[in-house]
Amino acid sequence: MNREERRAIEKSKEKHPEIVEVLDLFLKLSELSCDTIPVNGKSISWDKLKEGFPAIDKRTLPKDLGTLFKRFKNIVEILLTRNSDFASAVNALFEREELFRELLEGVLMGQYDFPKDFSHLRPVILFAAGETLLPLINGVKLADPPKKALDSWGKSYCPICGAPPNISAIEGEENRLFLYCGRCSQSWNFPRLVCVHCGEEDQKKLQYFFAKNDEIHRVYVCDSCKHYIKSVDKREKTVVFPQLEDLTTMGLDIVAKKEGYKRESVDFVGLILTDYEVKKGD
C-alpha cells in the first residue's frame, strides 16, 4: 500500500464515521505483506486470452505453497478476530497441503465443494483464498501480458485472475467504460449500455440510480438477471482507488439489495454485505 492510498483511507474514516470499523479491517488486510511471487512464464499461456480464458489457472500455482499458506492464515485470523476458534479450525483444516492446494485451485477455476462443517464460513474462506493469491497474481501481471489482448478482452470477468468486477468507471474524453476486478484491481474495457453480468442489451431492462447530491456514483441494475454494479465517473473524480471507492459507497449496495438486486461476493465489500461471522462475532 502506498502513502497516497493510506491517506485516502484515513480521510475516508473522517468522512464516513459510520464505517470506521470496516475501514480499519480493510486497512489491516491491505497492510499484510504481499511480496510478489515470480511466475514461470511457461506456466502462463497468453493465447488463452484470445479464447476467453483468464491468464492464471491452477498450473500457475507454485509447487511449494508454504508462503501462500502463511498469508492465508494471517488473513483468516484478521477476518475472524472475534471468533478465534473458527480461525483455528479453518487453518487446521487447510494445513494439509493437498486440501489447501485443492482450495486455491477451486477458487481459480470457480469450482470448489466446501466441507459440510465449514459451509457457514464459505464467504470468509473464499475471500481469504482469493486474497491469498494476490502475490501470485501480481507475478502474472509482471510477466508482460500482451496489451492488445487485454484491450480487446471485453468479458465480464478479469482477464488476469478470472474474478468478477466489483465496480466500474467511466473514463476519458471518449466516455469509455472500464471494469475493475474485485480481487486484483485489474481494469479492462467493456461495452457501455450492456449488462455486465448477463449481456442484456434491451435498454428497457437496464436502469440506474444514484444518491441525492451525488451523481458521480451510480448503480446500474439489470431487470433480466437482477444483478447490479456500481460506477464512478472518473471524469469528475480523477483520483480513484477502486477497492476503497467500492467500500465507501456501500450505502448504494444496501439500497440495491433492498430493491432485490444482487452482486458477486468474492471481494471485500461482498464479504461485509454477507454479514459474515454472524455480524462479525456480535
246 within 8 A of 267, measured Cβ to Cβ: yes
- Cα–Cα distance, 263 to 249 (Å, whole number): 14
Q: Nearest to residue 192, comparing CAs of 210, 174, 204?
A: 174
**pLDDT 10s digits, 211-245:** 988 889 999 999 999 999 999 999 887 778 989 99
Instruction: Please name the helix (run of DSSP H) or strand (run of DSSP E) that holds residue 181, with its range, or none.
Output: strand 176-181
Strands of 214-222's sheet in order across: 187-190, 176-181, 165-171, 228-233, 214-222, 206-211
Amino acid in position 163: A
User: SS3 of 140, please?
Assistant: helix
Q: Please, what CATH class does the domain formed by 153-280 belong to?
A: alpha beta
| Number of helical (H) and strand (E) elements in the chain, helices listed first | 13, 6
| pLDDT attached to residue 114 | 78
pLDDT attached to residue 277: 42
160-206: per-residue pLDDT in tens? 999 999 999 999 888 999 999 999 999 999 999 999 999 999 999 99
Q: Is the pLDDT of residue 279 over 60?
A: no
What per-residue string of b and e applies to 193-203 under the rule 16 or more CB within 10 Å gives b? ebbbbeebeee
pLDDT for 143 beyond 90: no
Q: Is the overall model pTM greater than 0.85, yes or no?
A: yes
Please report which confidence band the pLDDT of residue 278 belongs to, taking 50, 70 and 90 as the band edges: very low
Query: Roughly how many angstroms between the first and final C-alpha of the chain, as a whole number?
Result: 30
